[in-house]
Amino acid sequence: MPTIKMKLEQNGPLLVALLAIFTTSMVADGIVPALPLLQRELHASTDSMGWFYTAPMLSAVVTLPLIGKLAEVFSRQRILLAILVVVCLGMLLSALAEHAPLLIFGQMLSGLSLSLFPLSVGLIRDSCSANRIGPANALVGSLGAVAPMIGLLACGPIVEHFSLRWLFWGPCLMLLVSVIFMLMLPRRDVGKQREHIPVDWTGALFLSAALGSGLLAISRISESVWSDPVQIALFLGALFCGAVWIWHEKRVTQPLIALSLFSNRLVLACGLCMLVAGYLIVSVSVAIPLFAELGSEQGGLGASVAQVSGYFLAMSLAGMAVTPFIDRVEQRIGSRRLVMLAMLVLAATTAMTILLPSTTMSVTLAMAVIGAAFTAVLVESMNVIAANFTVDEVTEISSLSWVMKSIGATLGSQITACIIALGAGADMEMAQAAAVFHSLAVAALIGVAGIAAALLMPRQRQPLGS
C-alpha cells in the first residue's frame, strides 16, 4: 500500500503545478481593478500600462513551443522548477517596481506561467491512471475558472487592508514555497533517457520571432492603420521568420516541432477548437461589458461596474460547475459530439444576445452558458491530447494548442475592438450598441466555423499507448 511519502513523491510536482496555476491565474485577473491605482503610483502613461497585458502574452506565446519541447527532452519536474523560479522572480520584480518598465519586465517573466497549463497535462499523464486523466484535466480547467473570480474578490480587501504591492508579494511568497517544496522532492528521471537529444535552438529562435512579431502586429490592429510602416514590418517579419523556420525544420534531424504534427488530424482539431474558443471568449468579454454599460438611450442596459463584474462572476462559476461533468458526458456521447455541442452552444448563445431582448438577467445567463461551453471545449481538447498521444508528445502538443488559443484570444480582442471603433458614433470614445452587436455577429460566425473544426475530433478517446 503506497505511503503518504510515496504519494507525495509521485504526485508532488502535479500538486505544485496546480497550486501555481491557481496562484498565477488569480493574479492575472485580480490585479485589473487596481490598475488605475498602480498607474498613478508609478506615474505611468496609459500606453505603458497597455504593455501590462501585452508583455506577458507575448512572452508566453514565444516560449510555449520551446518549453513544450524541453519538457519532453528533459524531465517535466525540472522544467516545472525552472518555470516556478522565473515566475517567482517576475512577481518579485513587479512587487519592487518603482517605475513602469520594471513592472512590465516583471510581468513579462510572469507570463511564462501560461506554460503551466500544457505542462500540467503532461504531469497528469505521468501521475494519473487512465480513468483519472479526464477528471484531473477537469480540475485544471476548474482552477483556471475559479482563480480569476477569487482574485477579483480579493483585490479590494488586499489593497484596502495591506497595500497595492501585496497583490504581487502574496503570490511571490506562495511561489517561493512551491520552489522550496520542489527542491525537497527527490529527482525523478522521467525523460532522462532523452537528454542526449539536442535542442533545436535555431528553430526555437525563428519560431519565437515569427510568433512574437505576428502576435504583436495583431495586438496593434485596433491602434494603427494597415499602412503604418511598423505594422507592415511586423507582419513581413513574421512571414519571413516563419518561412525560415519551416525551411530550417525540414533540414534538421531533431526539429523543435516535427512538421508532420501539423498534418495530424487530432493536433489540427484541438488547435482549431482552442483558437475558436479563445476568440469567442475574449470577443464576448470585450463586447458585452461595453454594451451593458451604455445608457438605455444608446440601446444599452446602463449597468454599473458591479453588475458587469457579476456577469464575469457568473461566467467563472459556470465554468467551475461544469468541469466535474465533462468526463461523464464524454463517456456517454463521445468527444466529437461533446465538442460540437459546446461549439454550437457558444455560437448560438452569442447570436441570441443579438436577436433576443437584452436584460440584466438574460445577459448574466448568456455569460454563464458561454463560460460553461468554453470550459468544456478547453478541457475536452486537453483530454483528447492526453489520451491519444504518447507520454513523450503530450506536453509539446498541448503547448501548440495553447499557442493557438492565445492567437485566437488576441484576434478576438483586436478584431472586436476594430469593429466597435468603426461603428462608433460622433463620440469616438463611446461605442454604439449596433457596433457591439456587429462584433458579436462576427463572433457567432466564428463559432459556426468551430463546429466544423469539431468534426475533426475523434468519436471517442482512444489511447494509443504510453
Q: What is the CATH classification number for the domain harbouring 102? A: 1.20.1250.20
Residues 6+ apart with CB under 8 A from 145: 316, 317, 319, 320, 323, 371, 375
Whether residues 370 and 464 share a domain: the answer is yes
Of 28, 22, 164, the C-alpha closest to 96 is 164
Task: With 0.95 as the threshold, say if the pTM is over it.
Answer: no
State what percent of residues in the chain have pLDDT above 70.
Answer: 84
Same domain, 228 and 88: no
Query: Looking at residue 431, what is its pLDDT?
Result: 46
Residues 33 and 180 in one domain: yes
Residue 351, C-beta contacts closer than 8 angstroms, at least 6 positions apart: 440, 441, 444
Residues 328-366: tens digit of each pLDDT:
888 889 889 999 999 999 999 988 887 777 777 888 898
Whether 182 and 227 share a structural domain: no
CB 357 within 8 A of CB 179: no
Say if residue 217 is in the same domain as residue 113: no
Same domain, yes or no, for 220 and 324? Answer: no
272 and 208 share one domain: no
8 A C-beta contact, residue 216 and residue 58: yes
Domain-terminating residue out of 163, 179, 198:
198
Q: Say if residues 298 and 432 touch (Cβ distance below 8 Å).
A: yes
Q: What's the domain count of the chain?
A: 3
Among 209, 233, 255, where does a domain finish? 255
The residue range of the domain holding 17 is 1-198
The pLDDT of residue 306 is 66
Cell numbers for 220: 496593434
pLDDT of residue 441 exceeding 60: yes
Same domain, 297 and 188: no
**Tens-place pLDDT, residues 401-410:** 888 888 888 8
How far apart (Å, rounded) are the C-alpha atoms in residues 163 and 165? 5
Confidence of residue 104 (pLDDT cuts 50, 70, 90): confident
| Contact criterion met (CB below 8 Å) for 309 and 152 | yes
pLDDT of res. 68: 80
- Both 142 and 283 in one domain: the answer is no
Q: What is the C-alpha to C-alpha distance for residues 318 and 299, in angstroms, rounded to an integer? A: 27
Q: 303 and 218, same structural domain?
A: no
Rg (CA), the chain: 22
Domain termination residue (choose one: 255, 275, 292): 255
Query: Domain check: are 307 and 210 in the same one?
Result: no
Q: State whether 153 and 97 are in the same domain.
A: yes
